[in-house]
Structure 1
Amino acid sequence: MATSVPTSPAPLLLLARISGLLVSALVISWALLFKSSFRPQSTSQEDLIYAVLHPLLMVIGLILISGEAILVHKWLPGSRGFKKSVHLCLQGLALACGIFGIWTKFHGNDGIAANFFSLHSWMGLICISLFGAQWLMGFMSFWHRGEMRAVRITVLPWHIFLGLCTYGLAVATAETGLLEKITFLQTKKDGSKHTPESMVVNSLGLGLALLSGVVILAAVSPSSQSFRSELTYSQSKKLMT
């Protein structure tokens, strides 16, 4: 029976980078070209800046950086410990961006209660809580390698599973935020449903869906190196028997 060799992750990594650049370009264009729609009833320049920072921090800071952290083990050369340290630092940076991004949304005269009413806000709070718990578990595991070796081996599959779920939840939360925003814009009086802004927002949603699919696929795809190691081990075992 022929054994199929897994393909190199390089094409998936390239597609992930292209998708990330596309998403970055779309969210920056949305924030710069249509910034007046973020706070249409506010005359405060500070409120406008915080409103524009929210999608930038949550998309570029949280989703793109955390996606890059997930893919570190697939492309970064070096020892396993070095890859873990880079992964931990990138996830810490993504977590900081996510916390500050939520703070920008709750900042201002409206307060927390006025902004905590939608499915988007509920999902965002759950997502950042899971993200923080994941990072804390990784931090404790990294600095207590010897003492927590047995525990780390046990929880590693769950850490990977919850990490990918949290990443998917972050993308889903962003999608609900885009839907909430575009629905608000389209239900305004004399608001058209076919505007340049709606095209940008819809394209951003599709770009996020593509990015998340590619990142998760690249993360779960077996690497050629590990496959060759397993194949060599199985062949040696057959020769011994």
Structure 2
Amino acid sequence: MAVGINAMAVTFVAHALAVIAAIMVLFWSISYRGGLAWEAENKNLIFNLHPVLMLIGFIILGGEAIISYKALPLEKPVKKLIHLVLHAIALALGIWGICAAFKNHNESGIPNLYSLHSWIGIGVISLYAFQWVYSFIVFFFPGGSPNLRSGLLPWHAMLGLFAYILAVGNAALGFLEKLTFLENGGLDKYGSEAFLVNFSAIVTILFGAFVVLTVSAKSPSSSPPIDDEPNYSYSAI
């Protein structure tokens, strides 16, 4: 079901929010938290990779992958390839971001997987990986039969959107968790860093909302299926 707005117009707002969110999380990690590093005496620099990679890599690129299929006025095979590659990069960066959190915890003597944020995070990345692998096999290579692809299409779209919405919600939960730790450690609850973290979470949620709105909007092109390929589109929801 599509709402009566053009997907291309919605994406302009989504792209702007993505840029703002990326700048905010980088500014927070570098200016307030000291920078980014994979190897460092200060283990907090290792953890700083986690929010940056999860937001820019997983949330933003994952959202752009969804947007690309619905809003780009390109031929279906090209859109499919862009969709596939962006999701693959998002998944790889998401795994790297989770590894950064584990590395920080292990080197700092902090227990792993004790919070709701971490539990949901493992679930989301696992679901995302499952979605990508089976979609690659069924829709890309070697490719399932037309009947199989047509039958799985709505489930592919619905499961992918569910995983993405869950990822955005968990990102907001992660901002809350980190800010709570910082405030318990003495950070001013009404200081500039606290406001920056909260607004970063809000912008992230707004970006996710516009990604979902893009899914529900009218596609700029409605080209007929190529050969025997089903109409692979989020509008199938």
TM-score normalised by the chain length of structure 2 = 0.84
1:201 matched to 2:215: no
Partner of 1:125: 122
Cα contact 1:5–1:224 (8 A) shared by 2: no
* Pairwise CA distance, 1:151: 1.3
Deviations 1:58-96 (A, max 9, x none): 000000001000011233343211211111111000000
Deviations 1:102-140 (A, max 9, x none): 011111562798121000000100000000011001110
**Which of 133, 138, 141 is the matching residue for 1:136?**
133
* Pairwise CA distance, 1:226: 3.6
Q: Cα–Cα, structure 1 residues 223 and 48, in superposed 2: closer, same or farther, change >3 Å?
A: same
Matches within 5 A, 1:1-241: 6-36=4-34, 44-45=41-42, 47-108=43-104, 110=106, 114-141=111-138, 142-145=140-143, 147-189=144-186, 191-223=187-219, 225-226=221-222
* Pairwise CA distance, 1:192: 2.3
Cα contact 2:34–2:45 (8 A) shared by 1: no
Q: Give the aligned residue type for 1:21.
A: V
Q: Cα–Cα, structure 1 residues 224 and 21, in superposed 2: closer, same or farther, change >3 Å?
A: closer
Q: How many residues align?
A: 218
Give the distance between the partners of 1:76 and 1:109, measured in 2 at CA: 41
Give the distance between the partners of 1:109 and 1:73, measured in 2 at CA: 37
Q: Cα–Cα, structure 1 residues 128 and 109, in superposed 2: closer, same or farther, change >3 Å?
A: closer
Q: Cα–Cα, structure 1 residues 5 and 12, in superposed 2: closer, same or farther, change >3 Å?
A: closer
Give the distance between the partners of 2:31 and 2:63, measured in 1 at CA: 26
Give the distance between the partners of 1:170 and 1:207, measured in 2 at CA: 14
Q: Cα–Cα, structure 1 residues 124 and 193, in superposed 2: closer, same or farther, change >3 Å?
A: same
Q: Give the aligned residue type for 2:26.
A: I
Unaligned runs of 5+ in 2: 224-237
Give the distance between the partners of 1:114 and 1:200, measured in 2 at CA: 27
Q: Cα–Cα, structure 1 residues 31 and 37, in superposed 2: closer, same or farther, change >3 Å?
A: closer
* Pairwise CA distance, 1:52: 1.3
Deviations 1:164-194 (A, max 9, x none): 11111111111111111111111224x4211
Superposed CA RMSD in Å reads: 2.5
Rg larger for: 1
Query: Which shifted more, 22-31 or 78-87?
Result: 78-87
Identity of aligned residues (%): 35
TM-score normalised by the chain length of structure 1 = 0.83
Give the distance between the partners of 2:150 and 2:34, measured in 1 at CA: 50
Partner of 2:229: none
